[in-house]
Amino acid sequence: MNRRRRIYEGKAKILYEGPEPGTLVQHFKDDATAFNKKKHAIVDGKGVLNNRISEYVFERLNEIGVPTHFIRRLNMREQLIREVEIIPLEVVVRNIAAGSLSKRLGIDEGTPLPRSIIEFYYKNDELDDPLVAEEHITAFGWAGPQEIDDIMSLALRINDFLSGLFLGIGIRLVDFKMEFGRQYENDMVRIILADEISPDSCRLWDIETSDRMDKDRFRRDMGGLIEAYTEVARRLGIMIGQEQERPGGPVLVKH
Ligand code: TMP
Ligand code: ASP
């Protein structure tokens, strides 16, 4: 069982060698971290919820033709993914001011933005993932101009689709973070969505109450993280326990 080769261990996930060349197993841990690991806790059951929620989101994206690394879920904590060369950028799309944008520019949290804004952060723990411009990305060779264009059009498409998906279940997609990778196939390279999309990497606010249904509950010591993630899963129509099985898909929230 533990013979698998560990390829990489991050803050919330582990990557193992996959069963076939070009595949990996992505394992979701229960670790919750914030502020580059300055804050850390084990939250029982978080990995299971994120595995399911991210599976659901990536499957829907695959269905509309967004290329992703997701192949299939293997068990409660693991999914089979395509191996990619990760582009060292955290790509954030924002629809409503919150978090670091509010702080940096002095815009009240909750202020709708004039249009969706894409930001790039350089993935580097020692530097605390600094905000960077396209100029830095191309000058330092982290990605080429065409790759940046591909990433931006995928990011906006994903944002439009997920904003609608969450709106249908009474949740506002305030902002979220994505990572992309290069997939090499024969002599072709393409950019595909990698990593995860879950309440760890999104800001999700209840439309009616503005309740936080994401990792800000941990970052800001609000408590109730598992309850919030479970509610996101429930509204998406994902069954976690057998008794909650609901094969009918998302639950439309009327208001
Ligand atoms: P921020 O407002 O702190 O910059 O976060 C923007 C979005 O990115 C928010 O949905 C949380 C997500 N995020 C991550 O997934 N990982 C990170 O390391 C950070 C800083 C933010
Ligand atoms: N994931 C980052 C960390 O572990 C930060 C965050 O999500 O707030 O520190």
Ligand 2 contacts (CB < 6 A) are 11, 33-37, 215, 219
Output the pLDDT for position 241. Answer: 62
pLDDT, average across residues 188-201: 98
- Confidence check: pLDDT of 66 > 80: yes
Q: Does domain 6-84+225-244 have CATH number 3.30.200.20?
A: yes
Chain center to CA of 187? 29
**Gap from CA of 202 to ligand 2 centroid (Å):** 11
Task: Say how far apart CA 185 and CA 22 lie, in whole Å.
Answer: 10
pLDDT tens profile 157-178: 999 999 999 999 999 999 999 9
The percent of the chain in helix, strand and coil, each rounded to the nearest 5, is 30, 35, 35
Task: Say how far apart CA 227 and CA 175 lie, in whole Å.
Answer: 20
Q: Is 177 in the pocket of ligand 1 (CB under 6 A)?
A: yes
- The residue whose C-alpha atom lies closest to atom 13 belonging to ligand 1 is 201
pLDDT, average across residues 47-59: 98
Closest ligand to C-alpha of residue 32 is: 2
pLDDT, average across residues 124-150: 98
79 closest CA partner among 196, 193, 239, 247? 196
Give the three-class secondary structure for 187: coil
CB 56 within 8 A of CB 63: no
**Angle at CA of residue 120, ends 118 and 126, nearest 5°:** 155
Output the pLDDT for position 247. Answer: 53
pLDDT tens profile 78-128: 999 999 999 999 999 999 999 999 999 999 999 999 999 999 999 999 999
Output the pLDDT for position 1. Answer: 56
Residue 255: pLDDT band by 50, 70, 90 thresholds? low
Output the pLDDT for position 244. Answer: 46
CB 163 within 8 A of CB 173: yes
CB 87 within 8 A of CB 212: no
Give the three-class secondary structure for 131: strand
**Gap from CA of 254 to ligand 1 centroid (Å):** 29
pLDDT tens profile 14-37: 999 999 999 999 999 999 999 998
Per residue, what are the HEC states of 33-75? EECCCCEEEECCCHHHHHHHHHHHHHHHHHHCCCCECEEEECC
Tokens of 248: 């009918």
Domain residues of the chain, as ranges? 6-84+225-244, 85-206
Q: In CATH, which of 1.10.1840.10, 3.30.470.20, 3.60.15.10, 3.65.10.10 is domain 85-206? A: 3.30.470.20
**Gap from CA of 27 to ligand 2 centroid (Å):** 18
Residue 179: pLDDT band by 50, 70, 90 thresholds? very high
Tokens of 102: 């509010």
Residue 226: pLDDT band by 50, 70, 90 thresholds? very high
- Confidence check: pLDDT of 243 > 60: no
- The residue whose C-alpha atom lies closest to atom 6 belonging to ligand 2 is 34
Output the pLDDT for position 60. Answer: 98
- Confidence check: pLDDT of 253 > 80: no
**Gap from CA of 176 to ligand 1 centroid (Å):** 7
Q: Is 203 in the pocket of ligand 1 (CB under 6 A)?
A: yes
Could you give phi then psi for residue 125, rounded to 5 degrees? -60, -40
* 33 class by beta-carbon count within 10 Å (0-12 exposed, 13-18 middle, 19+ buried): middle
- Confidence check: pLDDT of 242 > 90: no
For residue 102, give the ligand 1 atom closest to its CA: 2
